């Protein structure tokens, strides 16, 4: 079960089903409430109409016993201001929700105003005279209740209308309208919802499952291919990219870009290890040979050559260690470095090097930036005919260091290649003279780690001009 709901498809289908279920329940409740309110309001209007018709008859002087109180009609009551029942529907057995629970009139069925003067001795001949008209109240009140007529019990909506009769009498007419139709309509709607909602939720869940499955099918292909790449360690393989142009397609494209970058990085690492092994082999073999000869024939020891090989091996090891730290993502120190002072310091003691340097501060590692300047000066002196110039200045928000020589320059086609590791443009040049081909690669890597750039162009004197640009500290 946990594995099932661990699936994205299952969670998406369940989530969509829950959301739709909540929406349907809320909408269904609103519909039922609105339906019940509208039907109840309609029943109230029918009850008010019946009550006002009876009130109009009473106000016109009609006797209570002549009111439409047949058992086939909705329940009707006439109650005086003291709560006594004056008239009621025939065969009314029980009633609630009105002003009186009585079902039988308590006095003769005659409107107030007729015969009231008999006790005062003002004649019995006035019984047939027309009474004064009454006044029907404008306000109406509603109440829900029930009534039993001739053994049939039902729910009703009762309306109450007051009638003011002559001589200060007041009666209240209660008339009911059945709620059976309203209850049946609500019950029918509720039944339809109880049947339809589960079916609709099942359809929503199934459709979501199928759509999600179809949408995530490329993801499963990507996962399967990545698992095979991991097992085979073949970084040249790529995951399939769907033609949907959606998030999954962009995921596949990004995955392939990552694989390509990883393949390139591993390939560079392999070349680096191979080149480093090759470069280390030569000085180590030379040093071993000299030591073996010295061990057998001490008089033949080339001490100066052994020292040079040892120094060269030490420099190469230092270069390889620095490159390894840079590849590992080592962040440079956040110290203040005066590039002008650093350029003068690195140029001191070098023959044919002139320096024009302003005081420009940058943030970074003094040791690494000094290594950049030293490598650029070594490279410039190696290729210069007679002179090397160094200039340090500020340009906007950048510090600019230019190292130029008057040599033959760098061909345009090779201006990016010279920054690759273990690259020497002059293949015939000896390693003793040209180094291992790591100086410019280290210089550019350090520049990039400091947020800057290192490029080469033609110098004014005809040679090469290396330009280092770094953000100001």
The domains found in the chain, sorted by start residue, are 1-111+132-231 (no CATH), 235-330 (1.10.287.130), 333-471 (3.30.565.10)
- Per-residue pLDDT of 230-268, as tens digits, reads 888 888 888 888 887 888 888 888 999 999 988 888 887
Band the pLDDT of 70: cuts 50, 70, 90: low
User: What element of type H or E holds 305?
Assistant: helix 303-327
Tell me the average pLDDT across 171-179: 89
- Do residues 164 and 134 touch, judged by C-beta distance below 8 A? yes
Tell me the average pLDDT across 107-127: 45
* CA dist., res. 427 & res. 381, Å (int): 18
- Do residues 56 and 173 touch, judged by C-beta distance below 8 A? no
Q: In the structure encoding, which two tokens stand for residue 417, read together?
A: 């290649």
- Rounded to the nearest 10 degrees, how much is the dihedral formed by the CA atoms of 306, 310, 316, 319? -150
| Predicted local distance difference test score (pLDDT) of residue 426 | 59
Band the pLDDT of 127: cuts 50, 70, 90: very low
- Do residues 355 and 467 touch, judged by C-beta distance below 8 A? no
Which alpha helices (H) appear in 359-438, and where do they start and end?
Answer: 366-383, 431-434
| Predicted local distance difference test score (pLDDT) of residue 6 | 54
- Do residues 99 and 83 touch, judged by C-beta distance below 8 A? yes
* CA dist., res. 392 & res. 399, Å (int): 7
Question: 127 exposed, middle or buried (CB, 10 Å; 0-12, 13-18, 19+)?
Answer: exposed
pLDDT above 60 for 95? yes
pLDDT above 50 for 116? no
Q: What is the mean pLDDT of the chain?
A: 82
* CA dist., res. 417 & res. 424, Å (int): 9
Lowest mean pLDDT among 130-139, 197-206, 273-282, 455-464: 130-139
Lowest mean pLDDT among 63-77, 184-198, 243-257, 356-370: 63-77
Q: In the structure encoding, which two tokens stand for residue 123, read together?
A: 């004649």
Band the pLDDT of 111: cuts 50, 70, 90: low
């Amino acid at each position: 079960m946990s594995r099932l709901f661990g699936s994205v498809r299952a969670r998406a289908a369940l989530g969509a089903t829950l959301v739709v279920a909540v929406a349907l329940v809320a909408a269904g409740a609103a519909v039922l409430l609105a339906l019940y309110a509208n039907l109840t309001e309609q029943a109230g209007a029918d009850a008010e109409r019946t009550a006002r018709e009876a009130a109009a008859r009473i106000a016109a002087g009609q006797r209570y016993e002549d009111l439409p109180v047949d058992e086939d009609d909705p329940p009707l009551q006439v109650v005086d201001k003291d709560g006594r029942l004056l008239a009621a529907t025939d065969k009314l057995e029980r009633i609630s929700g009105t002003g009186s629970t009585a079902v039988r009139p308590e006095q003769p069925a005659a409107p107030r105003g007729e015969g009231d003067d008999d006790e005062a001795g003002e004649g019995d001949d006035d019984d047939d005279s027309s009474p004064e008209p009454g006044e029907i109240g404008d306000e109406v009140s509603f109440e829900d209740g029930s009534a039993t007529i001739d053994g049939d019990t039902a729910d009703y909506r009762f309306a109450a209308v007051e009638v003011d009769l002559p001589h200060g009498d007041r009666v209240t007419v209660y008339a009911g309208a059945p709620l059976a139709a309203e209850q049946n309509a609500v019950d029918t709607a509720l039944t339809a919802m109880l049947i339809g909602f589960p079916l609709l939720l099942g359809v929503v869940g199934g459709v979501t499952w199928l759509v999600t499955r179809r949408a995530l099918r490329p993801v499963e292909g990507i996962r399967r291919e990545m698992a095979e790449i991991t097992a085979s360690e073949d970084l040249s393989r790529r995951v399939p990219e769907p033609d949907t142009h959606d998030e999954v397609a962009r995921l596949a494209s990004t995955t392939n870009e990552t694989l390509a970058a990883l393949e390139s990085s591993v390939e560079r690492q392999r070349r680096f290890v191979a080149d480093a092994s090759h470069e280390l082999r030569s000085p180590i073999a030379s040093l071993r040979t000299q030591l073996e000869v010295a061990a057998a024939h001490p008089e033949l020891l080339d001490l100066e050559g052994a020292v040079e090989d040892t120094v060269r091996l030490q420099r190469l090891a230092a270069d390889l260690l620095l490159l390894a730290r840079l590849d590992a993502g080592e962040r440079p120190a956040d110290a203040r470095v005066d590039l002008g002072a650093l350029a003068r310091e690195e140029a001191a003691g070098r023959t044919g090097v002139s320096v024009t340097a302003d005081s420009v501060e940058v943030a970074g590692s003094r040791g690494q930036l000094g290594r950049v300047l030293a490598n650029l000066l070594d490279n410039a002196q190696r290729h210069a005919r007679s002179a090397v110039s160094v200039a340090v200045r500020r340009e906007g928000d950048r510090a600019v260091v230019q190292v130029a020589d008057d040599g033959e320059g760098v061909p345009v086609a090779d201006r990016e290649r010279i920054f690759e590791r273990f690259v020497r443009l002059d293949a015939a040049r000896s390693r003793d003279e040209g180094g291992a081909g790591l100086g410019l690669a280290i210089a550019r890597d350090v520049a990039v780690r400091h947020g800057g750039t290192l490029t080469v162009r033609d110098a004014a004197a005809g040679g090469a001009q290396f330009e280092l640009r770094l953000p100001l500290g």
